[in-house]
Structure 1
Amino acid sequence: MLRYSSPLVQIIIVGVVCLLNPGMFNALTGIGGAGQLDTTVAANANVALYTCFAVGGFFAGAIVNKLGPSTSLVIGGSTYALYSGSLLYYNHHAHQGFPVTAGAILGLGAALLWTGQGAIMLSYPTENNKGKYIGLFWIIFNLGGVLGSLIPIALNWNGSNNGTVNDGTYIAFLVLMGLGALLSFTLLPPHKVIRDDGKPVEVQKFPKWKDELVGVFKLFLDWRMLILIPMFISSNWFYAYHFNVVNAGYFNIRTRSFNNLWYWAAQIVGAMGFGKFLDTPSLKRKNRGIIGLFILFVTVMATWSGGLVFQLTFTRNGEKRDFDIYDSGYAGKLILYILYGMNDAMYQCYAYWVMGSLTNDASILARYSGFYKAIQSAGGAISWRIDALSTPYLVELLISWGLLAISFPCTFIVAMKIKETNNEVDNEKTKREISNSENVEK
């Protein structure tokens, strides 16, 4: 029987919150140009979003530790509806100011939401369940992309020649995102969550904001976080290429919506299989990390090789492409786009899993999550800006692919240092840091 205080139930709730907030945002963004004919509007909004996300992410771990995950998710979730509303406004007034401003606000809110989510997902499960719970979250979260993609498909199917989605699409997203923010109120505080081994979630509390901020800046002295930066920065870099180049640059509006559906559905499959593998009981944790990284390397390199072949068939300044779902040769292009989505889920699952393998302390994992999202968002801001500057499509592909390639040897170094368990180390470290903090107060 499921307990409301169990990690499983709490992670399911977080998954649904993210389904309705960033999941719907992904469905909207994944159409290409956020459903607009002029993709520079969404590109500029995303530059503002990810720039603020990057700045906010560095401090979000400290804020989440002080406010608590539930409050952080409520505040962060409310900013998604504002962004959807700004695009509804743009449909009528064509002024970029509101979407760009809403994107900046969303960046700050997303930093809180994703840091709170990361702290919950990585610290609530026991060590032998982390891969499963990460995979479960990713499945639920990406259902948002799948279900959200059905909205523009249903509302715009007969308008395949139109360049933008209709008002009803943005209104539907706005309502669902608002519901997601409200659902965050149902989350329990971490100290009320009881793990499967019968122990409560331990959260190290510092009495002052200064102590929290010092903990954040100490991440820049953690060699493991520094060497994972290539993985972090490349983990969202390719979205501008996937959505604005491949999807918006080649297909018409209904086909973009249909592609988007399968992109996020593929993420569910990728997260389900890869998350399960990362918890394989017959393998030691380090071996799972190394083998999982090798599998990821092979699938990513193979997919982007196929992407290069496809990219050589069209350019940004060439003839305008309005490829339709019923045109000859569509199946092969859809398969490539599905593989892009599956790769994304596997890559992100591994990034979270490797961070979760470094510690079980909820407060430290909140900082790790914030650091990860900050670096990831900095990369996203740069990539969306590159796209907004009308960079040649092939150049965007090569940059994305190159960053992914660089990330693998760096991540391998961290994977080689993974320990079978962190329980004893975490317990001693927590006692020592709490004692030092209490001595400072005295």
Structure 2
Amino acid sequence: MTPEGKALSNIVILGFGFMLMFTAFQTCGNIEQTVIKSLNNFTASGYTSMSIIYGVFSASNLVAPSVVAVVGPQLSMFFSGLLYSAYIAMFIQPRVWSFYTASVLVGFGAAVLWTAQGNVLAINSTDTTIGRNSGIFWALLQFSLFFGNLYIYLAWQGHDHISEKDRQTVFISLTVISLIGCFLFFLIRKPDPSEPTPSETSEAPLHTESTDSASACKLSVTKEMMLLCLPIMYTGLELTFYSGVYGTCIGAMTRFGHNAKGLIGISGILIGVGEILGGGVFGILNNNRLGRNPVVLLGLLIHYLAFYLIFLNIAPDAPQAPEEGTDLQAYMTPNVGVALFCSFLLGLGDSCFNTQLLSIIGFLYKEDSAPAFAVFKFIQSIMAAIAFSYSNVLQLPWQLLLLVVTGFMGTLSFFLAEWLVVAKRRDSDYDSI
């Protein structure tokens, strides 16, 4: 196999490993608050758990590069994946102490996992293949939203209550799927020293840079990164909403009938459809002729439509409703079709923001991409932790209001950052004449 073929094979294996792991983990996060409500004498909160995960994830970004450098990316991903699997397996026989302990461990594992993933992606890519490889990885990762949620829909269809057998069957299956994903990482092959790697061919290699926390701190106070902080903060808040809160809200709506719990799975699938469609159109196929601002503005408008329909369709107490659900309604007769359409819109809008943030950060900090993306993950995960914390207490309309305000501010801030990029590019073109 040629070096280029081996590199592409590694990217595909990486994508399938993450697809299986996050088929299990994202499905777990989507249903865990609903499952916890069905448990007797279990005082822990799924929202609190996710807040802990993202808080530890954020802090651990400071040490994750050192861990990957010492252990190596392949073993780093494997052992981090085992922590994800342990978190999922905890639900087979849940205990409060093990639940929160696993939350801390998986937060640390997440930082190491994503740092190692970036390393594997970089060493198997060149300047001319990084876009293609990132697109392949993104698409495979987002397919994780399909399979686990489809399984939840089929397994829980028509169930008013999640029994112990239902819970154990689902989480044993998810644990096995996660473990298979972990072991796939061992199929990733290191470049043969006797063969030229992709970076040694005629294509230019990716720049290698420092990933220490000092570099990240320096980048965080640049004018462009300070402007990008607001849209990154927004992606952290809306990540929490679509990945944890909204599925819980749908499952709590008794007016959706006996199938409300099963609809959580369909919601997750449609979020994935939106993510993949947006990632393909605005990520892989985007040629930047119109710039990034129109895509971000489209993402904001899509999210605003989703938030307005959710405000009209979902009961205000749905995020905190008990296991038996809520009989309240908002400002219209609850409609399943509208609820699932909003799931699609949430995924589509999220892909608009994330593809353009990845694009602009990659352009601005090409020579220091690892520290720049560490800042990105740090800010995003901090805001996700905060959002999961307030999800315990804030009713749905207030959560939507926060998303509306931060989305508007983040979009304006992104516009300013993009205009700076355009000005820099214009100056560079002028100087080259």
Per the TM superposition, whether the score is higher than 0.5 is yes
Q: RMSD over aligned Cα, in angstroms?
A: 3.4
Alignment correspondent of 2:416: 413
More contact order relative to length (CA 8 Å, sep ≥ 6): 1
Q: Structure 1 residues 66, 358: CA separation in 2 closer, same or farther (over 3 Å shift)?
A: farther
CA contact (8 A) 1:357 1:419 kept: no
1:337 alignment partner AA: S
1:45 maps to which of 34, 45, 49: 49
CA contact (8 A) 2:152 2:264 kept: no
CA contact (8 A) 2:128 2:203 kept: no
> Helix, strand or coil: the match of 2:93?
helix
Alignment correspondent of 1:315: 317
Deviation, structure 1 residue 383: 0.7
Stretch deviating more after TM superposition (186-195 or 222-231): 186-195
> Helix, strand or coil: the match of 1:279?
coil
Q: Structure 1 residues 275, 17: CA separation in 2 closer, same or farther (over 3 Å shift)?
A: same
Aligned-partner Cα distance in 2 for 1:58–1:188: 27
Alignment correspondent of 1:349: 355
The 5 Å alignment of 1:17-416 reads: 17-31=17-31, 33=33, 35-37=35-37, 41-64=45-68, 67-90=71-94, 95-121=95-121, 125=125, 131-162=131-162, 165-188=166-189, 193-194=197-198, 198-199=202-203, 201-202=205-206, 204=208, 212-251=212-251, 252-279=260-287, 283=289, 287-311=290-314, 313-316=315-318, 320-321=325-326, 329-361=335-367, 364-388=368-392, 390-416=393-419
CA contact (8 A) 1:135 1:274 kept: no
| TM-score, normalising length: structure 1 | 0.79
CA contact (8 A) 2:88 2:174 kept: yes
Deviation, structure 1 residue 87: 1.5
Deviation, structure 1 residue 169: 0.9
Alignment correspondent of 1:9: 9
1:172 alignment partner AA: S
Aligned-partner Cα distance in 1 for 2:188–2:422: 31
Aligned-partner Cα distance in 1 for 2:308–2:404: 9
Stretch deviating more after TM superposition (216-225 or 165-174): 216-225
Tell me the alpha carbon deviations over residues 186-222 of structure 1, each in whole angstroms, 9 at most, x when there is no partner: 335589751597336445376xxxx834323323333
Aligned-partner Cα distance in 1 for 2:365–2:161: 52
Deviation, structure 1 residue 106: 0.4
Aligned-partner Cα distance in 2 for 1:19–1:58: 26
Aligned-partner Cα distance in 2 for 1:109–1:149: 23
Aligned-partner Cα distance in 2 for 1:25–1:309: 30
Deviation, structure 1 residue 4: 5.6
> Helix, strand or coil: the match of 1:58?
coil
Deviation, structure 1 residue 163: 6.9
Aligned-partner Cα distance in 2 for 1:408–1:205: 30
Aligned-partner Cα distance in 1 for 2:5–2:205: 11
> Helix, strand or coil: the match of 2:287?
coil
Deviation, structure 1 residue 62: 4.7
Deviation, structure 1 residue 85: 1.1
2:25 alignment partner AA: F
Q: Structure 1 residues 349, 27: CA separation in 2 closer, same or farther (over 3 Å shift)?
A: farther
Query: How many residues end up aligned between the 2 structures?
Result: 403
Stretch deviating more after TM superposition (294-303 or 116-125): 116-125
Aligned-partner Cα distance in 2 for 1:419–1:108: 37
> Helix, strand or coil: the match of 2:326?
coil
Aligned-partner Cα distance in 1 for 2:278–2:158: 31
Deviation, structure 1 residue 419: 6.9
Q: Structure 1 residues 359, 186: CA separation in 2 closer, same or farther (over 3 Å shift)?
A: farther
Deviation, structure 1 residue 42: 1.4
CA contact (8 A) 1:296 1:347 kept: yes
Q: Structure 1 residues 358, 234: CA separation in 2 closer, same or farther (over 3 Å shift)?
A: same
Where in structure 1 are there 5+ consecutive unaligned residues?
Answer: 426-442
Q: Structure 1 residues 122, 405: CA separation in 2 closer, same or farther (over 3 Å shift)?
A: farther
> Helix, strand or coil: the match of 2:203?
coil
Q: Structure 1 residues 8, 329: CA separation in 2 closer, same or farther (over 3 Å shift)?
A: same
Q: Structure 1 residues 125, 292: CA separation in 2 closer, same or farther (over 3 Å shift)?
A: farther
Aligned-partner Cα distance in 2 for 1:320–1:336: 20
> Helix, strand or coil: the match of 2:63?
helix
Alignment correspondent of 1:431: none
Aligned-partner Cα distance in 2 for 1:295–1:64: 37
CA contact (8 A) 1:48 1:101 kept: no
Deviation, structure 1 residue 119: 4.7
Tell me the alpha carbon deviations over residues 217-271 of structure 1, each in whole angstroms, 9 at most, x when there is no partner: 3233333333222222221322443355432234332121222222223222221
Where in structure 2 are there 5+ consecutive unaligned residues?
Answer: 252-259, 429-433
Aligned-partner Cα distance in 1 for 2:10–2:421: 27
CA contact (8 A) 2:149 2:266 kept: yes
Q: Structure 1 residues 2, 174: CA separation in 2 closer, same or farther (over 3 Å shift)?
A: farther
Aligned-partner Cα distance in 2 for 1:35–1:269: 30
CA contact (8 A) 2:44 2:96 kept: no
> Helix, strand or coil: the match of 1:288?
coil
Aligned-partner Cα distance in 1 for 2:383–2:33: 18
2:80 alignment partner AA: G
